[in-house]
Amino acid sequence: MEVNINNNAKRVNIWLTKVESGNPELQATLKQLYKIYKAQKYLVVVYESGTENLEDLTRELLLYNRIRLQELDKAT
């Protein structure tokens, strides 16, 4: 688990691996962190590692965006 605290933005970013995401003990720890930072009016954001291939999904997203931009250019 990696915790990044941005005091200026009042935001806490928590990064979890696939293994950590399914750990019940870690989930209990997260609940405590939510309480602590909620009392300080921070936004707590948890990022969980996915199960899909990031490279493939990123390639598909970039290709979609390229096609969509071409469509928008033709429309104007």
3-state secondary structure the chain: CEEEEECCCCEEEEEECHHHHCCHHHHHHHHHHHHHHHHCCCEEEEEECCCCCHHHHHHHHHHHHHHHHHHHHHHC
Q: What is the pLDDT of residue 38?
A: 95
> pLDDT tens digit string along 55-70?
999 999 999 999 999 9
> In a structure prediction context, what are the per-residue pLDDT tens digits for the chain, which is 76 residues long?
999 999 999 999 999 998 898 899 999 999 999 999 999 999 999 999 888 888 999 999 999 999 999 999 998 7
CA distance 17 to 54: 14
Q: Answer whether 0.85 is exceeded by the pTM.
A: no
